[in-house]
Amino acid sequence: MTSFAEEFNAQPLRTRIVGRTIHFLDTVPSTNDAAWDRAKAGDDEGTVVFAEEQTRGRGRLGRTWWSPRGKGLWLSVLLRPADREGAVPATTIIGALAAAEAIRAETRLRALIRWPNDILVDDLKVGGILVEARAGRRELVLGIGIDVGSWQGSRVPKDVAVVATNLSDAADTPVDRAAFARALLRRLDRWHAVQLDRDYESINQKWKELSATLGRQITLEENGRTFEGTVIDVDVRFGLAMRLPRGAIRQFRAEHLTILRHE
């Protein structure tokens, strides 16, 4: 049987930075931890770590991320963004843009981005982004998890099955993991170059096009206070703008808000 690494390497990647070095691992606790190990070892920016399976995959807000063997793409990328200020939200968005665009290009599915890091198809989650920074280190680790392979015949945890799906079942046809992974890294390489150029307008424009949050009614929490309203703008540097019930407009910084409900 051909391995994922052989299938991935069957065609040239042709990226500038993302994927210059790639580690194909089998079972790891989390590819984000494996990428931090590569950072400590002094690996180059753009180093990618793929794993077939994660035993302690993590999501945002301390959640666990179900990462069954050979089904999804579990990967992390080592990056050194130009601007440290706001780098975590910006890197989250470029990861989400690359994932949503790759899904649209490789399947007919209309992937959208739900603030700040969920990749949706038909309102079900097909992937997520987890960017991590560590005190005293200049790098960021961009973790991407995409459910690619069919779950038919798999034991899917109940809490996952009610909110999520995978590309193959959603598209009703098998989606090739290796081809999808190449498409994802190519797009990420392009968005990373846009981020390095500080071209935030291009990022905002594409994000608005692919946002599942813009125009929607949401409930969010900021510093212990809850707000309800309609999202009227998303901006990689300035966060989210919301129209409150009495008509006032309020801006929320990405780092300080948590969405509680998204209609």
- In the complex, residue closest to ligand BTN by CB: 128
Q: Which is nearer to ligand BTN, 143 or 229 (CB)?
A: 143
Work out how close the CB of 147 gets to ligand BTN at its nearest, in angstroms, rounded to a whole number. 10
Q: By C-alpha distance, which of 237, 239, 260 is closest to 249? A: 239
**Which of 31, 91, 92, 165 forms a contact with ligand BTN (CB under 6 A)?**
31
Q: Which residues from 165-184 bind ligand BTN, rule CB under 6 A? A: none
Tell me how many residues contact ligand BTN (CB under 6 A). 22
Decide if residue 54 touches ligand BTN (CB under 6 A): yes
- Nearest approach in angstroms of CB 201 to ligand BTN is 26
For residue 54, the cross-strand partners are: 28
Scanning residues 128 to 157, which ones bind ligand BTN (CB under 6 A)? 128-130, 143-145
Residue 248 neighbours by CB under 8 Å, 6+ apart: none
Task: Write the secondary structure of 30-87 as one string of H (helix), E (strand) and C (coil).
Answer: CHHHHHHHHHHCCCCCCCEEEEEEECCCECHHHCECCCCCCCEEEEEEEECCCCCCCH
Applying CB under 6 A, among 15, 19, 23, 30 the residue interacting with ligand BTN is 30
Only one of the segments 59-67, 96-104, 221-229, 247-255 lies at the binding site for ligand BTN (rule: CB under 6 A); that segment is: 59-67
Strands in 140-147's sheet, in edge-to-edge order, are: 22-28, 48-54, 72-79, 140-147, 124-133, 118-121, 112-114
Site residues (CB under 6 A) for ligand BTN, limited to 100-129: 117-118, 128-129
Applying CB under 6 A, among 7, 17, 60, 219 the residue interacting with ligand BTN is: 60
How far apart (Å, rounded) are the C-alpha atoms in residues 165 and 102? 17
Identify the residue among 36, 74, 180, 252 touching ligand BTN (CB under 6 A). 74
Residue 181 CB, nearest approach to ligand BTN (Å): 12
Please, what is the minimum distance in Å from the beta carbon of residue 198 to ligand BTN? 26
Side chain identity at residue 9, one-letter code: N
**Cβ atoms 195, 90 nearer than 8 A:** yes
Least Å from the CB of residue 159 to ligand BTN:
13
CA distances to 196, 199, 244 from 83, in Å: 8, 12, 32
3-state secondary structure of 227: strand
Residues of this chain that bind ligand BTN (CB under 6 A): 30-32, 54, 57-60, 63, 65, 67, 74-76, 117-118, 128-130, 143-145
